[in-house]
Amino acid sequence: MKNIKTFITALTLILATIIMVGCGDYVGKEKSHPLFVKAGASQAAGNYKEAAQFYEDFLYVCPKSPLAHLELAKVYGDNLDDPFRAMYHYEKYLELSPTSPDAADVKKFSAACRKRVYEKLVKDYQTINAEQVQQEAAEYKKKMDEYVAYSNKLLEQNEKMKKMIRSGKVTREVSVRPLRAVEAPKNEDDPFSDATVDVRTERKDPVTQPKVNTGVREYTVVAGDTLTRISRKFYGTTRHWRAIKNANPGKIGNNDGLRIGVKLQIPDIGEGR
């Protein structure tokens, strides 16, 4: 048991060191990092959800990368119709690189996203009364604040880990597994539904065991789940995500968003091909 604890501590230290060194080494040289390269390749291939996921993972490793925030903002704003997150990442870029030659253009992009957010709200709520508008606007603001707080938590976690490594106090309780805050765009009606995932530990949420029932299994959505992630969990590949979507009409959001606690029917692979 002692040897196992020693091994876990050593492994954690190594991985944490990679994270600590990674950010400092890759600011300004992001295009040489494997996660950033994968994000760019997915973006070029039109796999924008996957690209966003890789950029988010890279930002967990290197949260002070202006370029990563800029590229992620473009994906959310131009390709995934998510002006909420696009606006946030444009603002982070300006915060980290205020004197950039692109700063003036990025401010325009951020303003355009802000306008799109307003237009979405007007379109969604033009038929309801003022009290409902205020209530819904407050909910949107709360969810945006949660997403910002989550991103700030990642930065704090990264800084805390650096300090622990420098002081030699890294323990096996330190979690260094990248948590994917945005593995796929959430439901437009609830864009930040699982943006408050706890980043302090590697705790696994309880998962409902699949039930065998004439070829269909049941699964309960937990924080961080996406259709591709669930497909990989049950089939060992992400390509059957559409079969899961088709098997659950009315349970999946307009932009393939998933709500925590929703029970999904998981068809056999034969049904998903």
Cβ pair 71, 43 in contact under 8 A: yes
Cβ pair 247, 271 in contact under 8 A: yes
Beta-carbon contacts of residue 166 (< 8 Å; ≥ 6 apart): none
95 and 223 share a domain? Answer: no
Q: Is the pLDDT of residue 159 over 80?
A: no
150 and 248 share a domain? Answer: no
pLDDT of residue 69: 94
In a domain, 93, yes or no: yes
In a domain, 96, yes or no: yes
268 CB neighbour count, 10 Å cutoff: 16
The domain of 257 spans: 216-272
pLDDT of residue 239: 86
Q: What is the mean pLDDT of residues 167-195?
A: 47
Question: If DSSP codes are grouped into helix, strand and coil, which group holds residue 218?
Answer: strand
| Mean model confidence pLDDT for the chain | 75
More confident residue, 162 or 3: 162
110 and 7 share a domain? Answer: yes
248 and 161 share a domain? Answer: no
Cβ pair 166, 196 in contact under 8 A: no
In a domain, 144, yes or no: yes
More confident residue, 55 or 136: 55
pTM > 0.95: no
39 and 147 share a domain? Answer: yes
Share of the chain above pLDDT 70, in %: 69
Return the CATH number at 43.
1.25.40.10
In a domain, 31, yes or no: yes
Domain count, the chain: 2
Domain stop point among 107, 134, 167: 167
List strand residue ranges (DSSP E) for the chain, in order. Answer: 216-220, 263-267
146 and 32 share a domain? Answer: yes
Distance CA 273, CA 254 (A): 22
163 and 31 share a domain? Answer: yes
Distance CA 184, CA 32 (A): 24
Q: What is the mean pLDDT of residues 163-184?
A: 54
105 and 48 share a domain? Answer: yes
21 and 121 share a domain? Answer: yes
* Nearest alpha carbon to residue 89 among 114, 71, 115, 103: 71
- Helix 103-125 / helix 66-74 crossing angle, nearest 10 deg: 40
pLDDT of residue 82: 92
In a domain, 184, yes or no: no
Give the model confidence (pLDDT) of 183-235 as tens digits: 444 444 444 444 444 434 444 455 444 444 446 789 999 888 888 889 888 88
In a domain, 135, yes or no: yes
Domain stop point among 167, 194, 226: 167
Question: If DSSP codes are grouped into helix, strand and coil, which group holds residue 190?
Answer: coil
Distance CA 103, CA 21 (A): 28
Return the CATH number at 231.
3.10.350
pLDDT band at 27 (very low <50, low <70, confident <90, very high): confident
Domain stop point among 147, 167, 187: 167
Give the model confidence (pLDDT) of 75-131 as tens digits: 999 999 999 999 999 999 999 999 999 999 999 999 999 999 888 887 777 666 666
148 and 238 share a domain? Answer: no
121 and 34 share a domain? Answer: yes
In a domain, 227, yes or no: yes
Q: What is the mean pLDDT of residues 62-84?
A: 92
* Nearest alpha carbon to residue 240 among 270, 207, 209, 210: 270
Residues in the chain: 273
66 and 130 share a domain? Answer: yes
In a domain, 114, yes or no: yes
Q: What residues form DSSP beta bridges with 270? A: none
DSSP per residue over 232-258, as a string? HHHHSSSTTHHHHHHTSTTSS-TTS--
pLDDT of residue 3: 56
More confident residue, 185 or 141: 141
